[in-house]
Amino acid sequence: MRSGILVLLAAAWALAADSRPAVFSMHRLGAPAVSFSRYRGKIVAAAFISTTCPHCQDLTKVLIPLAREYSPRGVQFLECAFNEDAQQTMKDFLERFAPPFPVGWNSPAAVRAYLHYSLLDPNLFVPHMQFLDRAGIVRDDIPGESRFFEKPDAGIRGELEKMLQASRK
């Protein structure tokens, strides 16, 4: 009986995790902090990165043209760095890549808490992405070790097209 209740509770928690509201904010250089809730009404593609990670930098290069293409369709791109020296390396990162969307940082602990990773779990790989619907609900959460990042352009386009189509219904 107990194990059955535990299974039901675990299943309910897993379902809730897939539709949890995005309550998170990030600091920015020379600009006010940005809360994800600010973008309710838009679809949000949020990347959690390290400013010094080559894979994350490659993802930023992919996100820049996608942001220009999808922004007129109601999609907001965001990047949040959470490496220990993110605040110190942010200026160089922004100058090098000049993303046309908000980029900021938060502490590793804050990002881990938001993404539901234990501080004891060393396996939070970057980049990590989330897709939020127009109501600010997390609809997909893609960990850094996912095959999704082998072809991020196609994966991101697929997610966005699916979400844009769903929001028209």
What are the tokens at 11? 């299943």
Alpha carbon distance 133, 115 (integer Å): 16
Q: pLDDT-derived band of residue 15, with 50, 70 and 90 as boundaries?
A: very low
- How far does Cα 135 stand from its chain's mean position? 15
Confidence of residue 5 (pLDDT cuts 50, 70, 90): very low
What are the residue boundaries of the structural domains of the chain, listed by start?
Answer: 21-168
Percent of the chain at pLDDT exceeding 90: 81
Average pLDDT over residues 48-76: 98
Query: 21-168 maps to which CATH number?
Result: 3.40.30.10
Determine the Cα–Cα distance for residues 81 and 126; give it in Å rounded to an integer: 10
pTM for the whole thing?
A: 0.87
Please give the pLDDT value at position 122: 81
